[in-house]
Structure 1
Amino acid sequence: MDTKTLGRRGELIAVEHLIDQGWEIIATNWRCRHGEIDVIADDGDSLVFVEVKTRTSARAGHPLEAVTAGKIATMRGLALRWLAEQPEWIPRFRIDVIGILWNGGRPEISHVRDAR
């Protein structure tokens, strides 16, 4: 499976995971010229911008390790751009990261809330 297909499958699994938690999905794969936000969701308390990383093994490290402080800063900037486009003010938001490790065909999901 190529990396693009793996990434899309990981994003679908992440969305299913969030829906199972009772979250409302607002958007997926939101893009602007500065980058992309994988998932935008409402957990009932806050608007959540989610970065999803998927790997087939941990040989190159756990998927969560691929999300650096620089990536979180980029996500924060993208979140602010998305928020600026909204017609109403959204007072609370955060950035979460979901890492999916595809071990032997069964995905292992790690969810980090309020990643910094």
Structure 2
Amino acid sequence: MQERKTSVEIGKYYEDVAAQFLIDKGYTILKRNYRKKYEGEIDIICQRDDNIVFVEVKYRKSVRYGFPREFITYKKQNRIITVSKYYMMEEYNYDAVYTYDVIEICNDNINHIENAFFGG
């Protein structure tokens, strides 16, 4: 009998898939699961050329209830933006260009949405 995986295990697996996808596209992974205690977490922080990219990974078994990207609410975007500013302050003192991407995975298809949302 096959053991069921927890949502945390499933999430980690698909974050690993997304990280490898980014590496294959020429990105360098800087951090994974960067967390600020009360503000939230960023799944993957990576770099390509001089651009820092904050990546949210979303997985769904199917699109029956919507595409994975549709589950990244405005509130979630704001949390990612807030946490990214902490990272930039700590690591780069804001001296780098940075963007927000989404990697959605559904039915073993990977869709990389560059500049998925903007922070200010």
TM-score by length of 2: 0.86
Match of 1:82 in 2: 87
- Distance in 2, Cα, partners of 1:24 & 1:45: 11
Task: Check conservation: 1:72, 1:115, Cα contact below 8 A.
Answer: no
Q: What is the rounded CA distance, in whole Å, between the counterparts of 1:29 and 1:86 in structure 2?
A: 15
Provide the alpha-carbon RMSD of the alignment: 1.4
Residue 89 (structure 1) shift = 4.2
**By how many angstroms is 1:41 displaced?**
0.2
Q: Where do 5+ consecutive residues of structure 2 fail to align?
A: none
The aligned residue for residue 57 of structure 2 is 52
Q: Deviations over 1:59-102 (max 9, x none)?
A: 2221111012222121111100111112554320011011111x
The residue type equivalent to 2:81 in the other structure is R
Equivalenced residues, count: 112
Moved over 6 A (4+): none
Structure 1 counterpart of 2:8, which letter? K
Q: Which amino acid aligns with 1:19?
A: I
Residue from 4, 16, 31 that aligns with 1:27? 31
Cα deviation digits, residues 32-83 of structure 1 (max 9, x gap): 1111110000011310000001112222221111012222121111100111
Whole-angstrom CA distance in 2 between matches of 1:95 and 1:77: 12
Cα separation, 1, equivalents of 2:67 and 2:46: 24
Distance across 1 between alignment mates of 2:92 and 2:82: 18
1:59 and 1:75 mapped to 2: Cα distance?
26
1:40 aligns with 2:40: no
User: Contact (CA 8 Å) 2:51, 2:97: kept in 1 or not?
Assistant: yes
Q: What SS class does the counterpart of residue 63 from structure 2 fall into?
A: coil
Unaligned stretches of 5+ in structure 1?
none
